[in-house]
Amino acid sequence: MRNILIATTAALSLGAGAALAESHGSDIATVYDFEGDFGDATFAVENAIVGAGLVIDSVSHTGDMLARTGLDVGSEVTIFDGADIYSFCSAIVSREVMEANPMNVAFCPYNIFVTDRDGQVQIGYRNFPEGEMQKVQSLLDGIVQDAIGD
């Protein structure tokens, strides 16, 4: 989760003021701008995941946790106005990549995050290594493209 937040923060600083659906890649994550508010973005991601025939295993309300615990860890910094991470798996794609290399289990479940920082709403996912895990990255990119309306 820490890597996702670091990548999101880096991508947000790279993408300030960018156009709708512009991708901001980094070594850690691919992030797209979303035209709309945080609630619209989370709704779009939920619909895109379910629309792909997948089941959301959990939603981590990371932004709420960071806001709630900031003072407890000695920080007054507001990182996100909203940040949720959606976790899910694909039986078909997971089986395919794990049959190729059982250690690909380390990447499951897959996550798509939605962030809001100062009104800049973005949707993204962790980048995966070259090889069979690119099938997962393609799956995630398709879901995010559906969510942003492309």
Confidence at 27, pLDDT banded by 50, 70, 90: confident
SS3 (DSSP) at 2 = helix
Radius of gyration, CA atoms only, the chain = 15
Residues counted in the chain: 150
Structure tokens at 118: 């100062």
What mean pLDDT do residues 26-40 have?
Answer: 94
User: What is the Cβ-side half-sphere exposure of residue 6, based on CA atoms within 13 angstroms?
Assistant: 7
For domain 2-148, give the CATH superfamily. TT1751-like domain (3.30.310.70)
The set of residues, in sequence order, having a beta carbon less than 8 Å from that of 103 and lying 6+ positions away, is none
Instruction: Give the model confidence (pLDDT) of 91-138 as tens digits.
Output: 999 999 999 999 999 999 999 999 999 999 999 999 999 999 999 999
Domain layout of the chain by residue ranges: 2-148
How many other C-beta atoms are found inside a 10 Å radius of the C-beta of residue 34? 26
Q: Output the pTM of the full model.
A: 0.82
DSSP state of 150: -
